[in-house]
Homo-oligomer: A and B are copies of this chain.
Amino acid sequence: MAKDFPTRAENYSQWYNDLVIKADLAENSAVRGCMVIKPYGYAIWEKMQAALDRMFKDTGHSNAYFPLFIPKSFFSKEASHVEGFAKECAVVTHYRLKNSADGKEIVVDDDAKLEEELIIRPTSETIIWDTYRNWIQSYRDLPLLINQWANVVRWEMRTRLFLRTAEFLWQEGHTAHATAEEALEETMKILEIYANFAENWMAVPVIKGLKSPNERFAGAVDTYCIEALMQDGKALQAGTSHFLGQNFAKAFDVQFLSKENKLEYVWATSWGVSTRLMGALIMSHSDDNGLVLPPKLAPIQVVIVPIYKNYDQLAEISEKALAIKKALTDKGISVKYDDRDTQKPGWKFSEYEFKGVPVRLAIGPRDLENGTVEVARRDTLEKEIYQMTDIELKVANLLDKIQQNLFQKAHAFREENTFKVDTWEEFKEQIDKGGFVLAHWDGTTETEVKIKEETKATIRAIPFNNKPENGKCILTGRPSKERVIFAKSY
């Protein structure tokens, strides 16, 4: 199967788009900016969901579901929130269609106009905090640790599959606490979960840090993030965890009676990751031969392909292959045995390579004689002959090794593409080349905005445990006490 698509070097953005479509992950729909997530792509997303959901539940969170619609008036209650989201809202104004007067088409029924317009949620802080007002009376009702898996809509003008779409799928956590300390602790706990998931499931190394005020979530006191570096040298924000202070509690009048019998506003956090993670996953590991998936998130971890000349051979090979499949499945490994006779082995090899299946086993007549199996790994494209004895242990080990290798490779790439610069000229030059650029900044939004205007680079994060270091702002020369990470970003 020849997948006609450009290399990363030729056209990175076309490579990405073609890969997503040709590997059957997603495609553009008939609705502007909205994607269809195809079964193979959705299977990866389901694995992501399962792992994250387990982590949320293990840390005491419960799932719930809130309405898709938000009354327009709710939006205006938190000033910076509406400022941040009003420009990209899908608005429901009517609740009925009817036949046109001439009976030839179907039109919106003007008699069915809503008294108050409804916004499709771009995020759910407002409807959720309106609900929390009735759920929280006393400190005994706190903390409230709730997560929601849902679709949201932000009317983006320029969209890209998974990375930026008008509708996307995500989880949004919304927690309520009695004190600022507890809320901050929650914000950090979730950031750790996100970083753990990114690094140990997605095999994507991330920087944990604080966002500069200009990059903060609309309505947050502080936004924390995990940032990853893609192969084209652009940064991708992979998850955010917000400390909301008492902003939403005040906007929606959510107060509680403290242990000291005082009426106080509730402290809040919110946090989310989305189908954007699919974009990060694809771009971090894939190569010019197609998709590369980390074993922990691969829908098919191992594919077995029989090599045979006639049906008698196939029957013999199948017996062995199905025994291996069973041994692997018993170890919790997901295996596909592809014995279709409509395609040749070579076609299957490139198909599964393109789809990023981590390990391929091939078994031919000679393997039966020798008690061997040919093992190919997708990450390095290396092939090796294994003895069949304990094949399930060897394959399980190999999957672990691939998982780690992908992380190490991505980590090494990031290290090689992280640069310290000290002058404005160096900065502009390096930003154009790509990568994480560590530079001094005078701490003002004014400077940040100017840098963005001139170079398209933004501050991706002020990293945690940042080394204090006296320096001068690359743009203004004013004093700075630490370097921050600049990059162009998705």
Inside 8 A of A105's CB, which chain B residues have their CB? Answer: 76
Task: Check: A362 CB closer than 8 A to any chain B CB.
Answer: no
Bound form: Cα–Cα A88–B96 in Å? 5
Which chain B residue lies CB-closest to A67? B34
The contact of A67 among B36, B42, B76, B106, by CB within 8 Å, is B36
The contact of A39 among B64, B75, B169, B342, by CB within 8 Å, is B64
Inside 8 A of A412's CB, which chain B residues have their CB? Answer: none
Contact A155 B95 (CB under 8 A): yes
Task: Check: A409 CB closer than 8 A to any chain B CB.
Answer: no
Which chain B residue lies CB-closest to A119? B97
The contact of A37 among B64, B91, B151, B153, by CB within 8 Å, is B64
Contact B151 A74 (CB under 8 A): no
Inside 8 A of A95's CB, which chain B residues have their CB? Answer: 88-91, 155
How many copies of the shown chain assemble into the complex? 2
Contact A42 B62 (CB under 8 A): yes
* Residue interface bits A54-71, CB-to-B below 8 A is 1, else 0: 000000001111111111
Contact A68 B146 (CB under 8 A): no
Contact B155 A69 (CB under 8 A): no
Task: Check: A394 CB closer than 8 A to any chain B CB.
Answer: no
With A36-B131, A43-B63 as given contacts, are A71 and B342 in contact (CB-CB < 8 Å)?
Answer: no
With A42-B62, A76-B105, A151-B151 as given contacts, are A34 and B68 in contact (CB-CB < 8 Å)?
Answer: yes
Contact B91 A63 (CB under 8 A): no
Which chain B residue lies CB-closest to A87? B96
Inside 8 A of A108's CB, which chain B residues have their CB? Answer: 72, 91, 93, 117
Inside 8 A of A67's CB, which chain B residues have their CB? Answer: 29-31, 34-36, 167
Task: Check: A82 CB closer than 8 A to any chain B CB.
Answer: yes
A115 to chain B, nearest CB (A): 10
Inside 8 A of A401's CB, which chain B residues have their CB? Answer: none
Inside 8 A of A69's CB, which chain B residues have their CB? Answer: 31, 34, 90, 167
Which chain B residue lies CB-closest to A152? B68
A136 to chain B, nearest CB (A): 13
Contact A30 B169 (CB under 8 A): no
Bound form: Cα–Cα A169–B31 in Å? 22
Task: Check: A22 CB closer than 8 A to any chain B CB.
Answer: no
A25 to chain B, nearest CB (A): 11
With A106-B75, A151-B151, A153-B68 as given contacts, are A87 and B91 in contact (CB-CB < 8 Å)?
Answer: no
12 pairs from A and B in contact (CB 8 Å cutoff) = A31-B118, A34-B67, A36-B64, A36-B65, A39-B62, A65-B169, A67-B167, A68-B120, A75-B97, A86-B106, A93-B108, A96-B155
